[in-house]
Amino acid sequence: MSKTRLDPISEQAIDWMVRLRADQPDARLQERFNAWLNMDPAHAQAWARLQERLGGSWNTLRTLDKRLPGEARQVLLQPQGSRRDVLRTIGGLGLLGGGLWLAARSPLADRVLADLHTARGQRETFTLADGSRLSLNADSAVDVQFDVRQRVVILRHGELVIQVASDPQRPLRVRTAHGEIQALGTRFLLAQAPDATRLVVLEHSVQATLAGGMRRIVREGQSVLLYTDRIVAVEGDQRYRSDWLGGHLNVLDDSLDQVVAALRPYSRGFVRVSPQVSNLRVQGVFPLDDPDRALNALAETLPIRIERFSPWLTLISAK
Protein backbone atom coordinates (compact mmCIF):
# COMPACT_ATOMS: atom_id res chain seq x y z
CA MET A 1 0.00 0.00 0.00
CA SER A 2 1.44 3.37 -0.98
CA LYS A 3 1.84 6.04 1.71
CA THR A 4 -0.16 9.26 1.47
CA ARG A 5 2.26 12.11 0.88
CA LEU A 6 1.93 15.71 1.89
CA ASP A 7 1.65 18.40 -0.76
CA PRO A 8 4.95 19.98 -1.92
CA ILE A 9 4.38 23.29 -0.08
CA SER A 10 3.81 21.48 3.23
CA GLU A 11 7.01 19.55 2.67
CA GLN A 12 8.83 22.84 2.01
CA ALA A 13 7.46 24.20 5.29
CA ILE A 14 8.80 21.14 7.12
CA ASP A 15 12.21 21.58 5.52
CA TRP A 16 12.28 25.22 6.66
CA MET A 17 11.24 24.18 10.16
CA VAL A 18 14.09 21.70 10.41
CA ARG A 19 16.64 24.20 9.08
CA LEU A 20 15.48 27.13 11.24
CA ARG A 21 15.40 25.06 14.44
CA ALA A 22 18.97 23.87 14.02
CA ASP A 23 21.37 24.77 16.81
CA GLN A 24 23.01 27.73 15.03
CA PRO A 25 20.77 29.30 12.33
CA ASP A 26 22.32 32.31 10.56
CA ALA A 27 20.88 35.66 9.41
CA ARG A 28 21.09 34.76 5.72
CA LEU A 29 19.01 31.64 6.29
CA GLN A 30 16.40 33.73 8.10
CA GLU A 31 16.29 36.18 5.16
CA ARG A 32 15.78 33.34 2.70
CA PHE A 33 12.97 31.95 4.84
CA ASN A 34 11.27 35.36 5.02
CA ALA A 35 11.43 35.62 1.24
CA TRP A 36 9.86 32.15 0.88
CA LEU A 37 7.12 32.98 3.41
CA ASN A 38 6.18 36.19 1.57
CA MET A 39 6.36 34.66 -1.89
CA ASP A 40 2.89 33.08 -1.79
CA PRO A 41 -0.06 33.15 0.68
CA ALA A 42 -0.08 29.35 0.48
CA HIS A 43 3.38 29.34 2.07
CA ALA A 44 2.09 31.29 5.09
CA GLN A 45 -0.88 28.92 5.38
CA ALA A 46 1.37 25.85 5.30
CA TRP A 47 3.69 27.39 7.88
CA ALA A 48 0.77 28.23 10.21
CA ARG A 49 -0.65 24.70 9.89
CA LEU A 50 2.74 23.22 10.76
CA GLN A 51 3.08 25.49 13.82
CA GLU A 52 -0.36 24.39 15.01
CA ARG A 53 0.33 20.71 14.41
CA LEU A 54 3.76 20.69 15.99
CA GLY A 55 2.96 22.96 18.93
CA GLY A 56 5.69 22.78 21.58
CA SER A 57 6.91 19.31 20.65
CA TRP A 58 9.89 20.47 18.62
CA ASN A 59 12.35 19.97 21.49
CA THR A 60 11.35 16.32 21.63
CA LEU A 61 11.79 15.85 17.89
CA ARG A 62 15.06 17.79 17.82
CA THR A 63 16.50 15.50 20.51
CA LEU A 64 15.42 12.55 18.38
CA ASP A 65 17.14 14.13 15.36
CA LYS A 66 20.39 14.42 17.29
CA ARG A 67 20.24 10.72 18.18
CA LEU A 68 19.04 9.63 14.74
CA PRO A 69 19.86 12.31 12.13
CA GLY A 70 17.03 13.02 9.68
CA GLU A 71 14.33 11.36 11.79
CA ALA A 72 12.57 14.59 12.84
CA ARG A 73 11.81 15.39 9.22
CA GLN A 74 10.59 11.86 8.58
CA VAL A 75 8.24 11.99 11.59
CA LEU A 76 6.77 15.29 10.40
CA LEU A 77 6.27 13.94 6.88
CA GLN A 78 4.18 11.03 8.11
CA PRO A 79 0.39 11.09 7.66
CA GLN A 80 -1.46 11.67 10.95
CA GLY A 81 -2.10 8.01 11.79
CA SER A 82 1.43 6.92 10.96
CA ARG A 83 2.85 9.83 12.95
CA ARG A 84 1.00 8.58 16.05
CA ASP A 85 2.59 5.16 15.59
CA VAL A 86 6.06 6.70 15.23
CA LEU A 87 5.66 8.85 18.36
CA ARG A 88 4.34 5.92 20.40
CA THR A 89 7.33 3.84 19.28
CA ILE A 90 9.73 6.61 20.29
CA GLY A 91 8.19 6.74 23.75
CA GLY A 92 8.00 2.98 24.13
CA LEU A 93 11.60 2.36 23.11
CA GLY A 94 12.88 5.13 25.36
CA LEU A 95 14.93 6.66 22.55
CA LEU A 96 14.60 10.06 24.21
CA GLY A 97 14.81 8.84 27.77
CA GLY A 98 11.62 8.42 29.78
CA GLY A 99 12.05 11.62 31.79
CA LEU A 100 12.79 13.75 28.74
CA TRP A 101 9.85 12.35 26.78
CA LEU A 102 7.41 13.06 29.63
CA ALA A 103 8.99 16.40 30.50
CA ALA A 104 8.57 17.65 26.95
CA ARG A 105 4.84 18.16 27.70
CA SER A 106 4.19 18.96 24.06
CA PRO A 107 0.60 19.45 22.87
CA LEU A 108 1.24 16.99 20.03
CA ALA A 109 2.44 14.24 22.38
CA ASP A 110 -0.35 15.06 24.83
CA ARG A 111 -3.08 14.55 22.25
CA VAL A 112 -1.51 11.31 21.07
CA LEU A 113 -0.67 9.69 24.40
CA ALA A 114 -2.96 11.17 27.09
CA ASP A 115 -5.72 9.14 28.74
CA LEU A 116 -8.28 11.94 28.28
CA HIS A 117 -8.00 14.94 26.00
CA THR A 118 -9.96 17.57 24.11
CA ALA A 119 -9.33 18.99 20.65
CA ARG A 120 -9.32 22.62 19.55
CA GLY A 121 -12.69 24.23 20.16
CA GLN A 122 -13.90 21.28 22.24
CA ARG A 123 -14.91 21.20 25.91
CA GLU A 124 -15.88 17.96 27.54
CA THR A 125 -16.83 16.60 30.98
CA PHE A 126 -15.83 13.08 32.02
CA THR A 127 -17.08 10.97 34.94
CA LEU A 128 -14.08 9.22 36.50
CA ALA A 129 -14.13 5.74 38.01
CA ASP A 130 -14.67 7.09 41.55
CA GLY A 131 -17.56 9.34 40.52
CA SER A 132 -15.50 12.54 40.33
CA ARG A 133 -16.50 14.90 37.50
CA LEU A 134 -13.60 16.19 35.38
CA SER A 135 -14.16 18.99 32.86
CA LEU A 136 -11.46 19.82 30.30
CA ASN A 137 -11.17 23.11 28.47
CA ALA A 138 -10.32 23.08 24.78
CA ASP A 139 -6.92 21.65 23.79
CA SER A 140 -6.28 20.04 27.18
CA ALA A 141 -4.98 16.62 28.22
CA VAL A 142 -4.72 14.56 31.41
CA ASP A 143 -3.62 11.13 32.57
CA VAL A 144 -5.63 9.25 35.21
CA GLN A 145 -4.01 6.80 37.65
CA PHE A 146 -6.61 5.20 39.93
CA ASP A 147 -6.13 1.97 41.87
CA VAL A 148 -7.01 0.57 45.30
CA ARG A 149 -4.38 2.78 46.98
CA GLN A 150 -4.47 6.10 45.14
CA ARG A 151 -6.35 8.58 42.97
CA VAL A 152 -4.01 10.67 40.82
CA VAL A 153 -4.79 12.96 37.89
CA ILE A 154 -1.85 14.39 35.90
CA LEU A 155 -2.52 17.61 34.01
CA ARG A 156 -0.31 17.38 30.94
CA HIS A 157 -1.57 20.46 29.15
CA GLY A 158 -4.38 23.01 29.27
CA GLU A 159 -7.04 23.62 31.91
CA LEU A 160 -9.44 21.59 34.04
CA VAL A 161 -12.18 21.90 36.61
CA ILE A 162 -12.73 18.89 38.86
CA GLN A 163 -15.54 18.09 41.29
CA VAL A 164 -13.92 15.57 43.63
CA ALA A 165 -15.89 12.62 45.00
CA SER A 166 -15.21 11.99 48.66
CA ASP A 167 -12.97 9.03 49.56
CA PRO A 168 -11.14 9.53 52.89
CA GLN A 169 -8.91 6.50 52.25
CA ARG A 170 -7.70 7.84 48.90
CA PRO A 171 -7.40 11.64 48.83
CA LEU A 172 -7.45 12.76 45.19
CA ARG A 173 -4.27 14.49 43.99
CA VAL A 174 -3.75 16.45 40.79
CA ARG A 175 -0.16 16.86 39.60
CA THR A 176 1.10 19.61 37.31
CA ALA A 177 4.51 20.69 36.07
CA HIS A 178 4.89 22.89 39.16
CA GLY A 179 3.41 20.95 42.05
CA GLU A 180 0.58 18.86 43.43
CA ILE A 181 -2.92 19.70 44.66
CA GLN A 182 -4.55 17.43 47.26
CA ALA A 183 -8.31 17.62 47.79
CA LEU A 184 -11.06 15.81 49.64
CA GLY A 185 -14.66 16.53 48.63
CA THR A 186 -13.94 19.82 46.89
CA ARG A 187 -14.07 21.58 43.51
CA PHE A 188 -11.25 23.55 41.94
CA LEU A 189 -9.73 24.83 38.71
CA LEU A 190 -6.18 24.26 37.45
CA ALA A 191 -4.63 25.92 34.40
CA GLN A 192 -1.18 24.86 33.20
CA ALA A 193 1.04 27.58 31.70
CA PRO A 194 4.74 27.33 30.80
CA ASP A 195 5.96 29.34 33.79
CA ALA A 196 3.29 28.62 36.44
CA THR A 197 0.14 26.70 37.33
CA ARG A 198 -2.98 28.69 38.25
CA LEU A 199 -5.12 27.25 41.05
CA VAL A 200 -8.61 28.60 41.84
CA VAL A 201 -10.60 26.93 44.63
CA LEU A 202 -14.29 26.95 43.74
CA GLU A 203 -15.57 25.04 46.79
CA HIS A 204 -14.10 24.13 50.19
CA SER A 205 -10.27 24.00 50.32
CA VAL A 206 -7.19 22.18 49.01
CA GLN A 207 -3.53 21.81 49.89
CA ALA A 208 -0.96 22.92 47.32
CA THR A 209 2.54 21.38 47.56
CA LEU A 210 5.64 22.14 45.53
CA ALA A 211 8.33 19.58 44.68
CA GLY A 212 10.64 21.20 47.24
CA GLY A 213 8.14 20.62 50.04
CA MET A 214 6.60 24.11 50.35
CA ARG A 215 2.89 23.81 51.24
CA ARG A 216 -0.09 26.12 51.43
CA ILE A 217 -3.77 25.68 52.25
CA VAL A 218 -5.95 27.47 49.68
CA ARG A 219 -9.57 28.08 50.63
CA GLU A 220 -12.80 28.66 48.73
CA GLY A 221 -12.64 31.81 46.61
CA GLN A 222 -8.86 32.04 46.89
CA SER A 223 -6.38 31.64 44.04
CA VAL A 224 -2.62 31.12 43.82
CA LEU A 225 0.06 30.73 41.19
CA LEU A 226 2.37 27.75 41.67
CA TYR A 227 5.93 28.32 40.47
CA THR A 228 8.72 25.77 40.84
CA ASP A 229 10.10 27.58 43.91
CA ARG A 230 7.23 29.60 45.39
CA ILE A 231 3.46 29.91 45.79
CA VAL A 232 2.07 33.39 45.11
CA ALA A 233 -1.39 34.51 46.20
CA VAL A 234 -3.62 36.22 43.61
CA GLU A 235 -5.77 39.07 44.90
CA GLY A 236 -9.54 39.05 44.51
CA ASP A 237 -12.11 36.33 43.90
CA GLN A 238 -10.95 34.43 40.81
CA ARG A 239 -13.87 32.01 40.53
CA TYR A 240 -15.06 33.78 37.38
CA ARG A 241 -12.19 32.05 35.55
CA SER A 242 -14.29 28.89 35.44
CA ASP A 243 -16.85 30.58 33.17
CA TRP A 244 -15.33 28.71 30.23
CA LEU A 245 -17.50 25.80 31.36
CA GLY A 246 -20.43 27.76 29.86
CA GLY A 247 -18.51 28.90 26.78
CA HIS A 248 -17.59 32.37 28.06
CA LEU A 249 -14.23 34.03 28.61
CA ASN A 250 -14.73 36.42 31.54
CA VAL A 251 -11.93 38.99 31.77
CA LEU A 252 -11.64 41.51 34.59
CA ASP A 253 -8.10 42.85 34.17
CA ASP A 254 -5.84 40.70 32.00
CA SER A 255 -3.40 41.67 29.29
CA LEU A 256 -4.33 41.35 25.64
CA ASP A 257 -1.68 38.66 25.34
CA GLN A 258 -3.37 36.62 28.10
CA VAL A 259 -6.79 37.04 26.49
CA VAL A 260 -5.54 35.89 23.09
CA ALA A 261 -3.79 32.93 24.76
CA ALA A 262 -7.18 31.90 26.20
CA LEU A 263 -8.79 32.19 22.74
CA ARG A 264 -6.06 30.23 20.90
CA PRO A 265 -7.41 26.77 21.89
CA TYR A 266 -10.61 27.76 20.04
CA SER A 267 -8.95 29.30 16.96
CA ARG A 268 -8.26 27.36 13.77
CA GLY A 269 -4.91 28.86 12.94
CA PHE A 270 -1.97 30.83 14.28
CA VAL A 271 -2.73 34.11 16.10
CA ARG A 272 0.18 36.46 16.80
CA VAL A 273 0.05 39.52 19.06
CA SER A 274 2.54 42.32 18.41
CA PRO A 275 4.69 43.18 21.46
CA GLN A 276 3.58 46.82 21.10
CA VAL A 277 0.02 45.91 22.15
CA SER A 278 0.48 42.70 24.12
CA ASN A 279 0.22 44.45 27.52
CA LEU A 280 -2.97 46.41 26.85
CA ARG A 281 -5.46 45.79 29.68
CA VAL A 282 -8.75 44.09 28.85
CA GLN A 283 -12.14 43.80 30.54
CA GLY A 284 -15.24 42.12 29.20
CA VAL A 285 -16.99 38.83 28.46
CA PHE A 286 -16.17 37.13 25.15
CA PRO A 287 -17.61 34.07 23.34
CA LEU A 288 -15.14 31.21 23.28
CA ASP A 289 -17.00 29.31 20.57
CA ASP A 290 -16.73 32.26 18.16
CA PRO A 291 -13.13 33.51 18.50
CA ASP A 292 -13.39 35.74 15.42
CA ARG A 293 -16.28 37.62 17.02
CA ALA A 294 -14.28 37.87 20.24
CA LEU A 295 -11.32 39.38 18.37
CA ASN A 296 -13.60 41.83 16.56
CA ALA A 297 -15.03 42.92 19.91
CA LEU A 298 -11.50 43.55 21.18
CA ALA A 299 -10.76 45.67 18.11
CA GLU A 300 -13.82 47.83 18.85
CA THR A 301 -12.57 48.80 22.31
CA LEU A 302 -8.77 48.71 21.99
CA PRO A 303 -6.33 50.60 19.70
CA ILE A 304 -5.50 47.48 17.72
CA ARG A 305 -5.71 46.32 14.11
CA ILE A 306 -6.60 42.72 13.24
CA GLU A 307 -5.36 41.38 9.90
CA ARG A 308 -6.53 37.98 8.70
CA PHE A 309 -4.34 36.68 5.89
CA SER A 310 -6.15 33.35 5.74
CA PRO A 311 -8.10 31.09 8.09
CA TRP A 312 -4.68 29.98 9.33
CA LEU A 313 -2.92 33.27 10.07
CA THR A 314 -4.13 36.28 12.12
CA LEU A 315 -1.92 39.18 13.15
CA ILE A 316 -2.85 41.69 15.87
CA SER A 317 -0.92 44.97 15.89
CA ALA A 318 -1.24 48.64 16.86
CA LYS A 319 -3.52 50.90 14.82
Question: Taking 80 as the threshold, does the pLDDT of residue 72 lie above it?
Answer: no
Residues 6+ apart with CB under 8 A from 98: none
Domains in the chain, start-ordered, CATH in brackets?
A: 8-113 (no CATH), 116-240 (2.60.120.1440), 247-318 (3.55.50.30)
Work out the average pLDDT over 300-309: 92
Q: What is the pLDDT of residues 26-43, one digit of tens each?
A: 677 778 888 888 888 888
Question: Taking 90 as the threshold, does the pLDDT of residue 90 lie above it?
Answer: no
Confirm if 105 and 117 have CB atoms less than 8 A apart: no
Confirm if 317 and 305 have CB atoms less than 8 A apart: yes
3-state secondary structure of 114: coil
Where residue 131 falls among pLDDT bands split at 50, 70, 90?
very high
Question: Helix 41-54 vs helix 8-20: angle between axes, to the nearest 10 degrees?
Answer: 60
